[in-house]
Amino acid sequence: MKIFLWAIVLALTACSSPRGAQNGTPSARSDRDSTSTDISEKAEYNPDKVSSREVPQALNLRDYLARVPGVMVDGYNVSIRGGGPPLFVIDSVQAGRSLAQAESLVSVHDIDYVEVLKSPTDLAMYGRLGGNGVIRIFTKKGE
C-alpha cells in the first residue's frame, strides 16, 4: 500500500507544472538580456520598397522594379511572382495594369519611392483588383 501511495505522489509531482506556467505570469528570469533587440530598434529595411536614393541614375520605372525581388520585367510586361499584370497606383490613384501607362503618367525624376505589395494582408484594401499584386508609386510632390 505504501508503494502504491508513493507512486501516486511521485506521478502527481512529475505531472504538475510551475504556477507561472499555468496563469501566464512571467518568471523571475524574464529580464531582457543584452543580446535581445526591440523591433523598433532594428534598422528599417524593406526589400519590396525602392527609394530614389537607391537608384539615382534611373532612366525609367523598370529600373526601380528590377531591384525588387520577385518582380519580373520583360519589356513592358510586368509580373509579381509569375502572376498576371499587377495594379499600378500613383499617389493613391489607380493607374491601371500597364507599365507603359504608368510610365506615361509619372516622370522618373518625380518618383520618391516605389513599393511593391505582395502579401494578402497588404492587398486586401485593393480587393480583386490587387489580386496579382500592387505596385505603388509615390512622387516627391505627391506627399
**Domains, the chain:** 46-139 (2.170.130.10)
- pLDDT of 18 reads 58
Contact indicator for 56, 66 with CB cutoff of 8 Å: no
Phi, psi of 93 (to 5 degrees): -115, 125
Q: In which band, very low, low, confident or very high, does the pLDDT at 8 lie, cut at 50, 70 and 90?
A: confident
Mean pLDDT of 124-139: 93
User: Is a pLDDT exceeding 80 seen at residue 86?
Assistant: yes
